[in-house]
Amino acid sequence: MAIPKVCGIETEYGILVRGADGNPVAASSLLINAYLAAYQRKVGWDFNDEHPGADARGFRVDDLLAPEVETHLVNAVLTNGARYYVDHAHPEISTPECRTALDALRFDRAAEEIVRASMRAASNLLPDDAEILCHKNNSDGKGNSYGCHENYLVARDLPFGRLVQQITPHFVTRQVVVGAGKVGCEFPGLSTAEVPFQLSQRADFFEEEVGLETTLKRPIVNTRDEPHCDPSKYRRLHVIVGDANMSETATLVKLGATSIVLAMIEDGAMGDDLALANPVAAIRQISHDPSLRQTMLLRDGRRMTAMEMQFEILARALEYERSHGLACVDSAVGRQVLELWESILSGLDSEPASVAHQVDWVAKQRVITGYAERHGLQPTDARLKALDLQYHDLRAEKCLALRVGLDTLVDPASVEDAMTMPPTDTRAYFRGRCLAKWPEAIVAANWDSMVFDIGRDPLRRVPMMEPLRGTAESVQRLIDESSTAGELLAKLGA
Amino acid sequence: MAERTQKQKPAPSRTEETVEAAPAVTESGDKLKAELDDLLDEIDGVLETNAEDFVKSYVQKGGQ
């Protein structure tokens, strides 16, 4: 049977400084440091087991923003188990490891609120007429893209070639349900006049079927092999092909449907027969066709629309639920995801406007089209691109996504809890609780270990190689009953 | 379970056309249009005052 689909989501936010001459790296550092100064003692990230080239970058800091705040490259661990850092000139938050797609949605929403709180905290450090704006989007409309990556726990013994072959049709076509929508086109050689609106923020930037890159020649399936847990048992599938969603429904279905499809692949329930003749061309073609009518060629010679492909994958997922159950994604959450996925596809198939409360691209397109008609605007009018950007603007007074009537699936109070409290059912619980209770005793932390300084002897590294150990069930009492970190380590036998 | 199975579309079946249920669509269509009008009124007040400059200044470094 498929292993539990532990998952998480990491988002690079767009950042813009207005009224001050700030570079984005310094602004991102200021943003994060302002949050940490206001809300949490800073504990650094431990790079011990990471690929050194990935994060250890030096930047020249050459602006005059708030010199009292340190502006070196920030990298912190939060008490909710998340990582908050500067990556590629963007502020980025990786949620903690979550047991279900629904919990990952809650922590993705909490990440959004953390960025909003950071913007408020940063504004206190800036001159009155200056502000830092953050957007939860994936492109600037000028050919520069930044990611929203998903991560899923996958069994190591699943052959990677099979995984690539069988997940690709879903990655290419799921954008009809979870695309965030974009005004214009950034694929070289195509203009906004030719593609005024498309389904996905990211589709223009994919050039390969499979590969290691994430910033150039981006592949549909990324091969980064950094499991951050026991490498003999697990893989972490690092998914770079998705958009950052404003719709909670879209985030849930994106994570949930992909979790289910991965479980099906592990259990041999997906099949090879949906392979596409040219996935790279297809992902772009589908994105550029909001009518959802164009067909793509399959390797076996058939032609299908993206909608038909999604209906077919959904049918297999429903069959999988009957034959295997959905315990690996949590049965109730799995059921919720399948119902949403099915109702969205049915809605898109009959009357797309009927899913404007669930699907980002439909909600956005409705506003763009309505605004253009009301004011008699050409598709290339800058006001339409401004609406697109503002859909993702995290300032509540400017954000269009907050105004278009999107459904909410998680209770705001539980989102607020998730800003500071970790999930209870993964190893993130141990990380977050220890950070909250003994910040002075923790030298550094990362996904699969924590380093304690308990005031004597060498530093103690506590390995956490199992994503589902260190949960509240197993360590809550130990943490509650220990008054010092040293006591806890003694009880753990570390 | 049986109901759900019936709702699934056989793939691929592109020849079938959706049958329009005219009265229902019109009624919900009117409601949707009224909502959209209200939303567009609100957006007129929320849109960046100098949209062209805002779009021009929105330049990001590439990321992952």
pLDDT in tens, A214-251: 888 999 999 999 999 999 999 999 999 999 999 999 99
CATH fold label, A7-413: Creatine Kinase; Chain A, domain 2 (3.30.590)
B8 contacts on A by Cβ (under 8 Å): 311, 314-315, 318
pLDDT at position A307 is: 98
Residue among B1, B8, B60 whose CB faces A140 most closely: B60
| Segments of chain A assigned to CATH 3.30.590 | 7-413
Summarised one tens digit per residue, pLDDT across range A385-423 is 999 999 999 999 999 999 999 999 999 999 999 999 999
Q: Is B6 near chain A, with CB under 8 Å? A: no
Quote the mean pLDDT of chain A: 92
What are the DSSP calls for A306-368, one per residue? HHHHHHHHHHHHHHHHHHH-SGGG-HHHHHHHHHHHHHHHHHHHH-GGGGTTT-HHHHHHHHH
Reported as type and span, the H/E element at residue A250 is helix A248-266
Across the interface, do B13 and A389 touch by the CB < 8 Å criterion?
no
Query: In which band, very low, low, confident or very high, does the pLDDT at A457 lie, cut at 50, 70 and 90?
Result: confident
B34 and chain A: CB distance < 8 Å anywhere? no
Cβ atoms of residues A230 and A218 within 8 Å: no
Under the banding of pLDDT at 50, 70 and 90, the label for residue A49 is: low
Please report the ipTM that was assigned to this predicted complex.
Answer: 0.89
Judged by a CB distance cut-off of 8 A, whether residue A88 touches chain B is yes
A60 by Cβ neighbours in 10 Å (0-12 / 13-18 / 19+) ranks as exposed
Cβ contacts of A386 on chain B, cutoff 8 Å: 47-48, 51-52, 54-55
Distances A208 to A98, A134, A180, A284, A435 between C-alpha atoms, Å: 29, 29, 21, 12, 40
B2-36 pLDDT per residue, tens: 444 444 444 544 444 545 555 555 667 788 788 88
Question: Residue B62: its pLDDT value, please?
Answer: 84
Residue A238, chain B, CB below 8 Å: the answer is: no
What residues of chain A lie within 8 A of the CB of B36, using their CB?
A: 366-367, 370
